[in-house]
Structure 1
Amino acid sequence: MKPFRLIAVALLLAAPLAGCASVRDLVLRLGDEPRAEAPDVRQALRGGAELAAETPVDRLYARAKAAILTRDYGLALDLLQLARARAPQDVRVLNALGVVYDKLGRFDLSRRYYELALAREPDSRVVAANLAYSAALQGRRERLAAAARPQSQEGL
């Protein structure tokens, strides 16, 4: 009976403590110190790019970009806000914030971030294209909303 109790207690404690490892891992990934990457990530880096040369903002931006691609906009927004706190002038981060807010339908906020990015880098084709695309999205939504409204029935 005692071995059963010991196993039961160990299992009950293992589940909550297992989450600590993932939180610790997240903190280490976002921290300032470079960490050893898995072999498959090292293979993905071509052209002699070194992880040590990346800044914490670069890592946050890369993770946010991956989150956007998987449509995890909440995570992307959290990561980009952390990146913006560290580098408020980073055009990539400002542009990506605009993209996320476009995806969430918050065009007022997306425009604000695109304008901030353009103020810092007026010749950015990427930001200008995203701003134009955002305007097109807004036009499409307005046309869809108008089409969904019942037509007036004059003359019937």
Structure 2
Amino acid sequence: MTDRPDPLNTPVRSGSTLTVTLFGDNGRIDQALSAELERRGCRTHAVSVKTGWLTSAQNVICRLDTEAGQRALEGLAGQHRPHATVIAMCEKPADELDVRRLQDLCKECGRHHDVSLIWHSSVGDAAASALPPIEHLAVSIVDEVSAKVGHADGSSFTSRFVDLS
């Protein structure tokens, strides 16, 4: 028996092995995301420096709580770059102005790309919980990747909250 949330049963695939560009900090959350992507048959291209947007990125997870993720999404906003599917994620800030700023940035990107903003509660102390919050978060994010991949190249913006408590 496992504490793993039930992920989508199908691997994440788009005809061939899918590569997901992960803009983050190479910390525990990024490692959990990479492990879950690998478990579902994907490769991960991890970017942990603030390079901005990479034009080769098509399927992306942007951690907005990191400099690399923040700069990548800012580099994509308002640009007519090749179409991308972007899952932007971060712990929901306590400051409403920060919430509005990040949401507006994602909406701007959603004018030309397919963008999902996923807020989450604090991951807290992963060892103290029966259901490891980082693993639960990784499954939720990769489920979103799986749901978005392979859809028509449209532009949209969606937002939701994942409660890890």
> TM > 0.5 between the two?
no
**What's the TM-score once normalised by structure 2's chain length?**
0.26
Larger Rg belongs to: 1
Question: 1 or 2 for the larger relative contact order (CA 8 Å, sep ≥6)?
Answer: 2
